Amino acid sequence: MSYLFILLAGYILGSLPSGLIIGKLFFNTDLREYGSHNIGATNAWRVLGKKAGFSVFILDFFKGAAGVFIGMYAGANGMEPASAYALLLGGIMAIIGHSCSLFLFFKGGKGVATGLGVITMLMPQAALCVFLLWFIVVLFTRYVSLASMIAAVSVPLQAYYWNKPWQYIIFGILAAAFVVYRHRENIHRLVNGDESKINLNGR
């Protein structure tokens, strides 16, 4: 029963469309109609400005972190802590909910910020390295999509380097593959030289 609760709670929490809510509530703008039509932090930054982009990032990040916390809390048995499977289930369902939202007809973002929230709860040292790698690539290339894919691919390597459980390494491999798959259109644009660069100052 606890695993069913973790699955449902993680998915529903992840499904909350932060970008859509912030866009409509504070800017009277539906992000799905502008820019890349994505509800994630990058499109919010481009369309609505850096404050909106940062706000969406933080909310999406905490969805992932909260998914792991749900697994940590609901998967515990008295004084016995939750298993790695409970933590991973909560985090994975938050990512799936964000990318295939119940409230957006199973569409959504690409899972990068939410995934970072999951990784931060599971392995904070690795998360810091992943974020720094992402930031450096964005700083030098201005391609958020490229930075996100490179950072995602580094996750299982970081998990291995920091001697994390094998379940975390497998999660990192699957999460990296998921992020790269979600960026398949960006890969096509990168190859063709059509990918948009981010303006670090906002709009």
The pLDDT tens digits for 31-60 are 999 988 999 999 999 999 999 999 999 999
pLDDT tens string 101-151: 999 999 999 999 999 999 999 999 999 999 999 999 999 999 999 999 999
Q: Which two tokens stand for residue 74?
A: 């609901």
Count of structural domains within the chain: 1
- Answer whether residue 172 is part of any domain: yes
Non-local (6+) Cβ contacts of 47 within 8 A are: 23, 29, 31, 34, 35, 203
Query: Residue 50's pLDDT is what?
Result: 92
The pLDDT confidence band at residue 203, using thresholds 50, 70 and 90, is: low
Domain range for 21 is 2-192
Query: Residue 25's pLDDT is what?
Result: 95
- pTM (predicted TM-score): 0.93
- Answer whether residue 138 is part of any domain: yes
Query: Residue 77's pLDDT is what?
Result: 83
Is the separation of the CB atoms in 142 and 171 below 8 Å?
no
3-state class (DSSP) for residue 121: helix
- Answer whether residue 203 is part of any domain: no
- Answer whether residue 100 is part of any domain: yes
Query: Residue 1's pLDDT is what?
Result: 64
- Answer whether residue 200 is part of any domain: no
- Answer whether residue 23 is part of any domain: yes
Query: Residue 202's pLDDT is what?
Result: 64
In sign, the C-alpha dihedral spanning 25, 26, 29, 35 is negative
The pLDDT confidence band at residue 201, using thresholds 50, 70 and 90, is: confident
Q: Check pLDDT > 80 for residue 62.
A: yes
The pLDDT confidence band at residue 200, using thresholds 50, 70 and 90, is: confident
Query: Residue 134's pLDDT is what?
Result: 97
- Answer whether residue 199 is part of any domain: no
What does each C-alpha distance from 115 to 40, 63, 80, 95, 201 come to in angstroms?
Answer: 12, 9, 26, 6, 24
pLDDT tens string 159-186: 999 999 999 999 999 999 999 999 999 9
Non-local (6+) Cβ contacts of 55 within 8 A are: 18, 22, 44
Which residue is listed with tokens 């029963």? 1
- Answer whether residue 198 is part of any domain: no
